[in-house]
Amino acid sequence: MRIGILTGGGDCPGLNAAIRAIVRCASADDVKVIGFKNGWLGLVEDDFDELTRTSVIGILPRGGTILGTSRFNPLKHEGSIKTLKANSARHQLSGLIAVGGEGTLSAARELFEHHQLPAVGIPKTIDNDINGTDFTFGFDTAVSVVTDAIDRLHSTAESHHRVMVVEVMGRHTGWIAAYGGIAGGADVVLVPEHPFRVSRVCDLLINRKQDGRAFSIVVVAEDAHPHPEEPFLSDDACARIYRHDRLGGIGEMLALEIERCTGIQTRVTKLGYVQRGGSPTAFDRILATRFGIKAYELVRGQQYGQMVAIRGNKIVNVPLSEAVGGLKKLDEDIYRVAEVFFG
């Protein structure tokens, strides 16, 4: 038996832990593992390494992915599907484990449903926006980075009596912002799910100052939007901030607006890619390991077209079709917890 693995989309901490788990299970069964490089591109270009027990030594705590990744989508490149199927057949793959976010898993679903690729999915992303699973690995590490950054920003904000705006990732959802904001004790958290009124944000900050709390932390998700009734971004700024393939910049514009409206010195920190790099937390290592083992079991049992998931503390499988085709928005209960501490 031979199985393939690939990691696609943005990288995140925990990918190597998942790869290691799959390879360790496979080698115990004498199953050969082909690691395709750079996501779906590796399967199309037949760019691969055989992964053995030796090749995964020491990778558990390492961030990134030893296989490399890309956002290449075979469904969008003519001829790719035919080549990919031919390569899969030539390698005699009896299963292909695709580790990725929405884009990678959507391709896995399509290739399984319409092209008989024996695909199984593992959800990963710092954004935690995949349906069908309570958590993706990478998210806990990103939240830890945000929490640590907010802790550090607190002391300098307090010394200078400033507002600190912290821009975080999360793509179209506010999971990182809300969890990071709760853990770090943010005074305001702005998420894509709730367009914000800048007047309300400024009132909160002014009230805090009048109450003797002369510093504040505002966490803003990269895709948070001003409420349509209170726009303050020019069309040019919107086009720059809310790009389809790359978000970022709302923090800077928000900081300028806050300073203009409140007169309080305001600074901005855009956390960017540090949220995605580095060593996974223990939680992410364990989740990725459990996902890897479950994915291997699904392939062995020929249960294709499935994605591994965590529900409560149980590792389960759900149809890939349930996981893709929409993003998992921030849980309203979590948002309400963050909101308790606004102001």
- Which residues between 43 and 102 bind ligand F6P (CB under 6 A)? 101
Could you tell me the two tokens for 155?
């002391």
Could you tell me the two tokens for 342?
């606004």
Instruction: Give yes or no for residue 170 binding ligand F6P (CB under 6 A).
Output: yes
Instruction: Give yes or no for residue 10 binding ligand F6P (CB under 6 A).
Output: yes
Instruction: Give yes or no for residue 140 binding ligand F6P (CB under 6 A).
Output: no
Tell me phi and psi for residue 188, to 5 degrees. Answer: -150, 140
Cβ atoms of residues 192 and 173 within 8 Å: yes
Cβ atoms of residues 192 and 227 within 8 Å: no
Q: Which span sits near ligand F6P by CB under 6 A: 14-22, 77-85, 169-177, 300-308?
A: 169-177
Tell me phi and psi for residue 133, to 5 degrees. Answer: -135, 140
Q: Which span sits near ligand F6P by CB under 6 A: 121-129, 198-206, 230-238, 253-261?
A: 121-129
β-strands 266-270, 163-168: how paired? parallel
Q: Which span sits near ligand F6P by CB under 6 A: 57-65, 120-128, 313-321, 324-332?
A: 120-128
**Cβ 123 to ligand F6P shortest distance, Å:** 12
Report the residue from 91, 109, 124, 276 that binds ligand F6P according to the rule CB under 6 A: 276
**Cβ 60 to ligand F6P shortest distance, Å:** 22
Q: Residue 223 catalytic?
A: no
Instruction: Give yes or no for residue 306 binding ligand F6P (CB under 6 A).
Output: no
Alpha helices in the chain (DSSP H): 15-28, 40-45, 80-90, 102-115, 139-160, 175-184, 198-210, 235-241, 250-262, 282-300, 320-323, 332-340
Q: Is 155 exposed, middle or buried (0-12, 13-18, 19+ CB in 10 A)?
A: exposed
Instruction: Give yes or no for residue 169 binding ligand F6P (CB under 6 A).
Output: yes
Catalytic residue among 11, 29, 127, 236: 127
Q: Which span sits near ligand F6P by CB under 6 A: 105-113, 167-175, 207-215, 278-286?
A: 167-175
Q: Which residue is nearest to ligand F6P (CB)?
A: 169
- C-alpha 190/C-alpha 83 separation (Å) is 44
Query: Any idea what DSSP says for residue 227?
Result: -
Q: Which is nearer to ligand F6P, 73 or 125 (CB)?
A: 125
**Cβ 249 to ligand F6P shortest distance, Å:** 12
Binding stretches for ligand F6P (CB under 6 A): 10, 101, 125-127, 169-171, 222, 246-247, 276
Residues designated catalytic? 127
